Structures are given as structure tokens and as C-alpha cells.
Structure 1
Amino acid sequence: MRADQIPLSRGAFARMATLDLDVPAVLDHAGLPRALMSEARPMLTTAQFFAFWHAVEAVCRDPSLGLRLGDGTRSEVYDMVTAAALHSGTLGGALDKLARYKRLTCPEDVVVELGRDEAAVSMRWMLAEGHTPRLLVDAMFASNFALAERGTGRALHLRRIELTRRPADGTLLHAHFRCELRFNAPQDRIVYARSDLDLPFVTQDDGHLADLLPVLEGSLREQTAATPLRDKVWNVLSRGMRGGHLRMAQVAEALHLSPRTLQRRLGEVGTSYQQVLDQVRHQLARRLLDATDLDVGEIAFLLGFEELNSFNRAFRQWEGATPARWRTTIAG
């Protein structure tokens, strides 16, 4: 897994300022030094990055700020991965590159799930403990949508936006994305029509892509080799928490290992498949109970528990209370 470093830039701070965000006040509220604004390439941990975005929500009175920040992708390219996506031949190729390389720039996992008629893109911060700040989710989706429309050179008709947040007034989101909104979702996802993946990119540039891909592939090989096995297992499990139970054999296959080898190698680093599975379930259970109104039974299903009682017992071991009581307690 990539080191817990998320790069910002003075350009990002400048863009926030042009959108009337009081960046010094945000940094103060987040407990971060104002000196970050003068650094050429400041780095934040995931916890600091989330604290920054929570501070944005607290300080900023404009609920459209996340959308407007993300929409900057219509005219700017922020990193090498975005450039590679923009130079792809089709929308599908662009999304594939984001999914393959995004974690090289920060500990964010992008997943593209293909259905018969849909292509869903989800984004997950791999080292986050709490749920993703609302304006950050808006910015990520707006950026992805802006890249898709910039690349294709046309207005796209999304299927829907799925949000792991409680139902709220979606007027701004609906006006921006022009599609159905679904709240209380198990994952934050932007859903395209699958046929749109074949749309050609007017920004295609094979020459630039030929220069970028070898660099990205080399970096990916280095990162993969340096990623601990426990983190790889965690990532596969986190991606698969959408109902049903991921068997160890399925995870082993995804990592190109035999189940026996997977279990042995996890044991060598002092853990086991079941321990990692429990840790992933625990973290996701806390997020969903905190951020959504999903029924406890629905959460149990998403986490792969066959019975609600099994989930209740496991959660009581983790937190010393049932999921329902824990949710009531944190709600105040």
C-alpha cells in the first residue's frame, strides 16, 4: 500500500482562494500550520487531509464548493495519472487508467465495476478511519465527471450518483450531475451507462501516453512489490464488501496465490485471513452505522454475515455494544 502521503499544491490553495474559501481559517480550524500554503508541494496524511476537508465544511458557507473545485478538471490537469486518463482513446480506457494508477499519487483506491448496462466507479481512501467528508466526495465525483465530459467533448447522461450519506436536499447535486441520486448507499459511486465507455476521447494523445505509461508501470511494479501482503488482502476484502461472503480462496485467487500459501504467509507476519476480515468488517461497520441510515440487517448483509445475530455478536466483541446501541450512542 502506498505511504500515507497526500500531495497538495500551492495551486490548489490558490484555486480555493479564488472560490472565496478562507484557506488560512480552514488550516487553523483543522489544526494545520499556515506554512503549508507557502510550501512547493505540501504533504498531508489521510487523517490530516480529512481534517482539512472537515474544516472546509465547517468554515465554508457554500455547499457547492466541492462541486466547483472538482469541476476544475475541465480545464486543468493535476497529476500524471489524470494526464494519462485524459490522453486515452476512450472513456473506458480513461477509467481503467484511473483504476490502475490512482494509488500511485495518493492512498485512494478507484474501482470500476461493469454490469450489463452500467459502469460504476467507486473511490475509497484506503487509510481512512472515518467516513469521507461530504464536500470531498462531491469534489471527487465532479472531477471524474468533468474529465469524462472533457475527454469525450460532449454532455454525458449519468445513470445515477450513489452516496453513503443520509438523505438530504440534493438540489445542487442534481443540477450538477443531471441524474438520479441515491442516498444511504453502501459505497460512494458514480454510475455511467456502459455504452458510454466506448465513446472516443477528443483529447487522445498517443505520443504523450507512450511517454507516460512506462513511467506509471514502473512505479506500479515498485509499489506492488513494497506493499505488505496484509494490506493487499485488506484491499481486496474492502473492494468486495457489497453483500455475500468473500472466501479465502477468492482472495487468494485475486492475489495469484494458493489459499494455503496465503494463509501461511499471513501467519508469518503474525495475522490470519480471519483476523484481517474481522478488521475490515469492523471498520466498514463503524462507517456505515455512523454515516448512513441503513438498517442494521442491511449492513450485516453487506459485510457478508449470514445472520444478523452473528453480526451483533461480532460487533459486541469489537465495541462492547450492539450495532444499534453503538449507533444511538454516537448520535448523541
Structure 2
Amino acid sequence: MSATRIPMLASTSARFTALGLDSRKVLARAGLSPAVTQRGSLDTPQFFAVWHAILELSGDPLIGLRIGSETGPAQLEAAAIAALHSATFGDALARLARYKRLCCPEEIRVEREGPLARLSFHWILADEITPHAISDAAFASAHAIARRGAGHTITPRRLELMRTPPSVAPYAAHFGCEVRTGCAGDALVYDAAALEVPFVSHNEDLLAVLVPALDAQVEALGEIAIEKQARAALTRLMRGDRPSIETLARQLNMSTRSLQRRLGDAGTSYQAVLDGVRLETARRLLAETSFTPGEIAFFLGFEEANSFQRAFRRWEGRTPIQWREERAPQVLGQPGGRRKKGPLDRSAGAVKISR
């Protein structure tokens, strides 16, 4: 399993001050009482509320990029320190993915797709859309680690965003690459060869001390719950198809019968997990993109749009369009939440709207 709470570091107040923010005002805007913060950690909704407050009080839509890129070595958590001193960029991302779950319920995925590699971040206990500033900070931090480690910028092939920000120019300038909007998920896409770039910051002596301690902590966490494993795998597999339980079992390196038994022991089932992933993905696509219900139905593997409409009404008690109008009036950050649409396209495993 992963850590379920996010620590409030001793340096948090100083970082707020460096950003021109009053920590007390941030916590008050987030609706957090002193009693909550004195615990020293936050759950996922509280953590998201803090980031919403940071965005609102700063008035800076790009503050996530600032936070992610301006984090100094002294502020790096153990996972980032281990990543920075790895042998290659690929090793760094692997360590970041392995050790990040020690400090928060966030999953980092590096998925090779032919000549490309996709880096993405996922909050596994979130019941709401991840604040844009958190996603921006995560990508900016990974970009900064790559630059510090290699001694030069490792330029991504492209940045994929679900949303359409008012301008993509700041993102293109920050990452030095093409920016695609209206995608099925947020990701930094690299040439797979970039994973082999050596790090000049490689320090095997430091890793020899740090890694065993981190590995011991990971082992102490135990195995990730089967339901979370299944949800993560289904999310990866869902790209215009309905992954079967047999396909899911192969992804998890177990027999279909074992998967059914373990899910049953956990009080759930393949269908329940599939429905949960479909609903979560549908919410994100409705809120973050202008995909039509028919396009979302295709992405989620429904045979026809009407089947998706019926399922969504069963889950949410309203149609997808009603949900979008009620819950996401500012889709894509534009008044009215609409933009001119092009035909549905798929690229590197992600759906996007062609320009």
C-alpha cells in the first residue's frame, strides 16, 4: 500500500513566504483548522484544498510551474534525492516511482510505447480532479530533476494536457516542446532514448546508504491492495477498449481465478472496479475536455453511446451533459466551457482533438 497522508514539512511555512503567501491565510482559505495542521499531515482532500487556496490567493495560474521548478536541493524529499543521484534519467524515474508512495498516495507511471515513453502522475485516493497546479508542479519538478541530473535540459517530445489553458505558450516555453490539449490524460512524453541519458550527479556511495533504508520502508508498507492494483491496470489499459478480466489478470501476473478470489476477499469485483474506473475517467473527461458523450463512450470501451449514457445515469443520477453543465461550467477554463471541436484522434495511447 501507499502512504495515505501527505506530511506538512517544517519548511512549508518558509516556502509559502518565498511565494509571497501567508501560510495562515492559505490554511484558512483551504478551510483547515489549527487542530488539523498540528497533526503534521493532510489527507488527499485537504491537500487538494491547500493547492486550490494557493492558486486562488496567488492569482498566478502558472504557480505550479514555479513551485515545481524552484524547489532547491535542501527541499527535496528522499524519493527525489534518490532520483537525482541515479545513473540515468530512466533510473531516476524508476526510483521516483518506487519511493514516492512512501510520502503520499501518488502513483508515478513511466510507460514505454514504441519509440516513446510517457510520464504521468496519478493520485490514487482522489475523489475529485487533481488541481492543475499540482500537475504542473509534478511535471516541472521532474523536468528540473532531469536538468540537474544530466547537467543539461532533457527536452520532452511533447506535453499532453487534458485541459486547454488560456495560453499554451508558457508551457511550451517552460518545457521547450509541443503542447497538445484536449488529451485523455496529462503526460510528459519523451523519446525512449532519453531514458538512457546519463546523470552527471550520479553518486553510488550516497545511494548505497540511502536506497537500503528506502527499500526497507517500501517493504514495510506491504503489497499494494489488489483493488488499487486492478484500478491502476485498468486505467492504463482503457484506450478505446473494454479490458476483459482475463486481460487484467495477465497484466497483474496472476490467473483469472486468483484475481476473482482476491477481489472477492477485498469485498469487490472486476465489474465494480471497472465501473469505478469508467466513472472516474468519464468525470475527468467531462470536466477537463470538450469530448462528446459519444467520444467518451468510445474511449471507455462501450459498444455504443446509449450504453454509456445509461450507465452514467445509473452512477450519477443524471446524463453526462447534465453533469457537465452542473458540475463543470468552466470546462477548459473558458467562459461557457466550450471550444471548437475537431475529429477525434488517437496519438501515443492518448486521445486528443485534432487541430
1:241 to 228, 238, 241: 238
Give structure 2 stretches of 5+ with no counterpart.
Answer: 330-355
What does residue 312 of structure 1 align with? 309
Task: Choose from 228, 232, 244 the match for 2:229.
Answer: 232
Give the secondary structure class of the aligned counterpart of 1:304.
coil
Q: 1:290 aligns with which of 281, 287, 292?
A: 287
The 1:301–1:211 alpha-carbon spacing in structure 2 relative to 1, beyond 3 Å, is farther
Match of 1:161 in 2: 159
- How far off is 1:74 after superposition? 5.4
For residues 157 and 42 of structure 1, do their structure 2 counterparts lie closer, same or farther at Cα, with a shift above 3 Å needed? same
**Structure 1 match to 2:177:** 179
Which amino acid in 2 is paired with 1:208? L
Q: Alignment length, in residue pairs?
A: 329
d(CA) in 1 for partners of 2:74 and 2:151? 15
Deviations 1:146-203 (A, max 9, x none): 0000000002222111112134212322221121111222111111222211111011
1:49 is displaced (CA, Å) by 0.5
Shift of 1:59: 1.2
Paired with 1:182 and 1:234, the residues of 2 have a C-alpha distance of: 26
For the 8 Å contact 2:6–2:44, the answer to whether it is kept is yes
Moved over 4 A (4+): 34-37
Q: Distance in 1 between matches of 2:280 and 2:250?
A: 24
Give yes or no for the alignment of 1:268 onto 2:268: no
Q: Aligned-pair RMSD on alpha carbons?
A: 2.0
CA distance in structure 1 between the partners assigned to 2:106 and 2:215 by the alignment: 17
SS of equivalent to 1:10: coil
Q: Distance in 2 between matches of 1:3 and 1:90?
A: 27
More helix by share: 1
AA aligned opposite 1:61: G
CA–CA distance in structure 2, aligned partners of residues 167 and 301 of structure 1:
25
Q: 1:242–1:303: 8 Å Cα contact kept in structure 2?
A: yes
Deviations 1:128-160 (A, max 9, x none): 111111111111111010000000000222211
Is 1:323 aligned with 2:315?
Answer: no
The TM-score normalised by the length of structure 1 is 0.92
Match in the other structure for 1:11:
11
Displacement after TM superposition at 1:266 (Å): 1.8
**Partners of 1:122 and 1:188 within 8 A in 2:** yes
- 1:137-152 to 2 correspondences below 5 Å: 137-152=135-150
The answer for unaligned runs of 5 or more in structure 1 is: none
Moved more, 120-129 or 10-19: 10-19
1:286-311, Cα deviation, whole Å (9 max, x unpaired): 12211222222232232222322221
Q: Aligned equivalents of 1:228 and 1:190: distance in 2?
A: 27
Distance 1:324 1:169 in 2: 26
TM-score (norm 2): 0.86
Please tell me whether the aligned partners of residues 186 and 288 of structure 1 are also in contact (alpha carbons under 8 angstroms): yes
Q: Which amino acid aligns with 1:113?
A: E
Residue 77 of structure 2 is aligned with which of 79, 85, 88?
79
What is the aligned partner in structure 2 of residue 126 from structure 1?
124
Contact kept in structure 2, 1:165 and 1:183, CA below 8 Å: yes
- How far, CA to CA, are the matches of 1:197 and 1:228 in structure 2? 29
Aligned 8 A contact 1:73 1:147 in 2: no
